[in-house]
Amino acid sequence: MKELLIKFSTFLAGLYFVFEFLIPGTWSEAWGIDKLNEPISNGFVAIGSMAFGLGIINLVRIHGKTILFRSNKWFYSLALLLGLFGMIVFASLDWIENLTITKTSDRILLLKSFSEKIITDYDNKTPNVLDPKSRTDFLIKAWNQEKNSFSPELMDTFKSNLSFQKVEELIQTLSRLDSYSPETLRELAPNFAEVSTFYRSASSASYENSMTKFAYKLLNNGIFVPLGAAMFSLLGFYIAGAAYRAFHVRSLEAFLMMAAAVLVICGQTTFTLGIYSGFSEIRAWLLQVPNSAAFRAITIGAGVAGLVLAFRMWFSVESGVFGRKK
Amino acid sequence: MRSIEHATPFMMFAFVFAGLIVWNFISRSRRGEKFFVRRLPGIDAVFEAIGRSAELGRPISFSTGLSGVGPVLYASMGVLHGIAQKCARYGSSLFIPQNDPAAMAVVEDVARDAYRAVGKGAQFDPQKIVFLSEEQFAFASGYMGLLHREKVGAAFLFGSFAGESLILAEAGQQVGAMQVAASVSPEQVAFFIATSDYTLIGEELFAASAYLSQEPVQVGSVRAQDVVKFLFFILIILGVTFATLAAIFPSLSFLNLETFMLGSWGIAGE
């Protein structure tokens, strides 16, 4: 039963993609098939996330055991797990902080839209809305709530900002007024936008100097990225080593390979081009004709083989590795 | 030329026709018809490398590179199954460093199944299937470390590889491992030819599993892919001939094979 269910699910999943590709685009739109793409892609993301969790569990299981039993070179496992969890913690903190800044900035920007909405609703006599004075009071309350959430350091930075001062001044004016004042609101709205932008840049600048950001940058930009670059730079030396081995002329094929490589090098370097400019055309011909032909042959062969394998998987006719023998 | 998001009538025909060919050859193979699969020196070398490692008492490494779950991984799994069975029989350690968590689940299942198939299920050690990193060069670094620490006697690189291919293959060279590599990426094939003892190029990776197992389904599908490839070859020859004739006789519009192959369904608004 389980096997049948797997085969049926595989067939259905394959059928969707084959059908979606084979039918004309207009039919796909008309029948609403293209609308299924997003939920299906989300399903793949969900499955991928589960697999990612599986990877973390596997790492913790294997390296945790090595540390617990003090197996050979257990400290490498400890370094790995510390690095893994350190990175997870600091990357999460970084993400939360950036999200908080963006959300607060968006909320301040919303106050601008709200100020404008109070004016337009009043002018258009929009039904079923509160009176403009009450709405203005809500605006003042919302601003004060936002302002109170600012840290003392941020408030110090804001004190020198003209837009912030203007907002404060206009909010004070609105608080004192007993009636609706569209002029004040109209003046206030663009200043909220300015304050939102300033908040975003000031908070980001302040966060850049925090310990969390420092730790994240140390782990990512200071350790992870340079180590990756160091590995990549090894390629330069390895290419030289591999080329040395490859250019040992032991057979006709090796001779042809070396001759082609030398001609390509000659067509690429200024010195040899100065001796004979025709190397450039030879290089171009080698790359565009025999090289492209070989590349395409490999690509077509692999593509056809992939298609045949896909048929096998789609119809679950695999009898070897994936289809269990009874 | 417009980008292809949906098949043209010709593509649909080619797809269905290819499917029928595959079905035909697999059915014939299942009924017992024998098909010839040519010898692949790289695959013969796989068993030689395992035997050599077993004699030296050194472990073996099998890497699927950066392969995610897809055709290349499935093709590599056929080879892994054969290698894992041999390792189980000889009692050799088999390390399978991993880059993709989703692929890792598939790899673990295939390796476990191979050990069970030869009655050595208890010997299977899931700790030998090591998740190194999803990041390309971190994975390469981990792989190098693994090969140097364990002093592997044979290293198999079957799957999708990118810029890290040379780093992986050089690590095997440095520890004196016998290496067999297979990649469908033409750019990486050159690096493998320069650094590995044997290299399987392109579709040979897909044929390797059939050659190892001699399974009727796999052998039949290898034969089918040869036939499909031959038909594509005829199409290429036709295309070249028609394009040449069209260049000489521009007035003959029927010679434009591209219009025929990429022609639309003729539906309004398509």
Higher pLDDT pick, A319 / A170: A170
How far is Cα A60 from Cα B184, in angstroms, rounded to an integer?
33
**Contact yes or no for B191 and A324 at CB 8 A:** no
**Contact yes or no for B104 and A28 at CB 8 A:** no
Q: What is the DSSP string of A38-50?
A: HHHHHHHHHHHHH
A318 touches chain B (CB under 8 A): yes
User: Torsions phi, psi of A298, nearest 5?
Assistant: -65, -45
pLDDT band for A173, please (50, 70, 90 cuts).
very high
pLDDT band for A154, please (50, 70, 90 cuts).
confident
Per-residue pLDDT at B121: 92
Residue of B nearest to A28 (CA): B6
Q: Please tell me the distance in Å from B9's CA to the nearest CA on chain A.
A: 8
pLDDT band for A48, please (50, 70, 90 cuts).
confident
**Contact yes or no for B15 and A22 at CB 8 A:** yes
Q: Is A232 helix (H, G, I), strand (E, B) or coil?
A: helix
Per-residue pLDDT at B269: 47
Tokens representing residue B65 in the block: 């590179």
Per-residue pLDDT at B2: 47
User: Which pLDDT tens digit goes with each residue over A228-287?
Assistant: 899 889 888 888 888 887 777 878 888 888 899 899 999 999 999 999 999 999 999 999
How far is Cα A180 from Cα B253, in angstroms, rounded to an integer?
76
- Give the strand pairing for B154-160 and B178-183: parallel
**Contact yes or no for B101 and A235 at CB 8 A:** no
Per-residue pLDDT at B92: 94
Per-residue pLDDT at B267: 59
Which residues of B are less than 8 Å from A289 in CB distance?
none
Per-residue pLDDT at B266: 62
Q: How much is the mean pLDDT over chain A?
A: 88
How far is Cα A68 from Cα A70, in angstroms, rounded to an integer?
6
**Contact yes or no for B205 and A305 at CB 8 A:** yes
**Contact yes or no for B22 and A321 at CB 8 A:** no
pLDDT band for A21, please (50, 70, 90 cuts).
confident
Average pLDDT value for residue range A66-73 = 86
Q: Which of A309, A323, A319 is closest to B203 using CA atoms? A: A309
Burial of residue B29, with CB atoms counted within 10 A of its CB: 0-12 exposed, 13-18 middle, 19 or more buried: buried
Residue burial B198-232, b: 16+ Cβ < 10 Å; e: rest: bbbbbbbbbbbbbbbbebbbbbbbbbbbbbbbeeb
Q: Is A323 helix (H, G, I), strand (E, B) or coil?
A: coil
Q: pTM for this structure?
A: 0.79
Q: What is the DSSP string of A51-118?
A: HHHHHHHHHHHHHHHHHHTT-TTHHHHHHHHHHHHHHHHHHHHHHHHHHHHHHHHHHHHHHHHHHHHH
- Please count the other Cβ atoms lying within 10 Å of the Cβ belonging to residue B179: 25
- Give the strand pairing for B154-160 and B198-201: unpaired
B100 close to B67: Cβ distance less than 8 angstroms: yes
Per-residue pLDDT at A47: 81
How far is Cα B205 from Cα B199, in angstroms, rounded to an integer?
9
CB contacts < 8 A, A to B, total 184
Higher pLDDT pick, B2 / A120: A120
From the list B7, B19, B270, which residue is nearest A26 (CB)? B270
Q: Is the pLDDT of residue A130 over 60?
A: yes
Q: Is the pLDDT of residue A58 over 80?
A: no
Tokens representing residue A104 in the block: 């607060």
Q: What is the DSSP string of chain B?
A: ----SS--HHHHHHHHHHHHHHHHHHHHHHTT--------HHHHHHHHHHHHHHHHT--EEEEEET--SSHHHHHHHHHHHHHHHHHHHHT--EE--BS-HHHHHHHHHHHHHHHHHTT-GGG--GGGS-B--SSHHHHHHHHHHHHHHHT-SEEEEEEE--TTHHHHHHHHHHTT-EEEEEES-HHHHHHHHHHSSEEEETTHHHHHHHHHH--HHHHHHHHHHHHHHHHHHHHHHHHHHHHHHHHH-TT-GGG-HHHHHH-----TT-
From the list B167, B186, B195, which residue is nearest A231 (CB)? B167
Q: Is the pLDDT of residue A52 over 60?
A: yes
Cα-trace Rg, chain B: 22
How far is Cα A281 from Cα A283, in angstroms, rounded to an integer?
5
Per-residue pLDDT at A145: 92
Question: Has the ipTM of the complex gone over 0.90?
Answer: no
How far is Cα B215 from Cα B40, in angstroms, rounded to an integer?
16
- Please count the other Cβ atoms lying within 10 Å of the Cβ belonging to residue A285: 13
How far is Cα B204 from Cα B40, in angstroms, rounded to an integer?
8
Per-residue pLDDT at B23: 93
How far is Cα A319 from Cα B248, in angstroms, rounded to an integer?
52
How far is Cα B268 from Cα B265, in angstroms, rounded to an integer?
9
Per-residue pLDDT at A319: 58
Per-residue pLDDT at B56: 94
Q: Is the pLDDT of residue A326 over 70?
A: no
Cα-trace Rg, chain A: 33
- Give the strand pairing for B60-65 and B198-201: unpaired
List all residues of chain A from 231 to 260 with a beta carbon under 8 Å from chain B. Answer: 231-232, 234-235, 238-239, 241-243, 245-246
Q: Which residues of chain B have pLDDT under 70?
A: 1-4, 253-270
Ranges of H-type helices in chain A: 2-22, 25-30, 37-68, 74-124, 132-148, 152-159, 162-176, 182-208, 211-217, 225-246, 252-266, 270-275, 279-288, 290-314
Per-residue pLDDT at B1: 43
Per-residue pLDDT at B210: 86
Per-residue pLDDT at A320: 55
Q: Is A216 helix (H, G, I), strand (E, B) or coil?
A: helix
Which residues of A are less than 8 Å from B174 in CB distance?
none
**Contact yes or no for B186 and A320 at CB 8 A:** no
From the list B7, B129, B203, which residue is nearest A302 (CB)? B203
Per-residue pLDDT at A43: 85
How far is Cα A111 from Cα A164, in angstroms, rounded to an integer?
13
Q: Is the pLDDT of residue A81 over 80?
A: yes
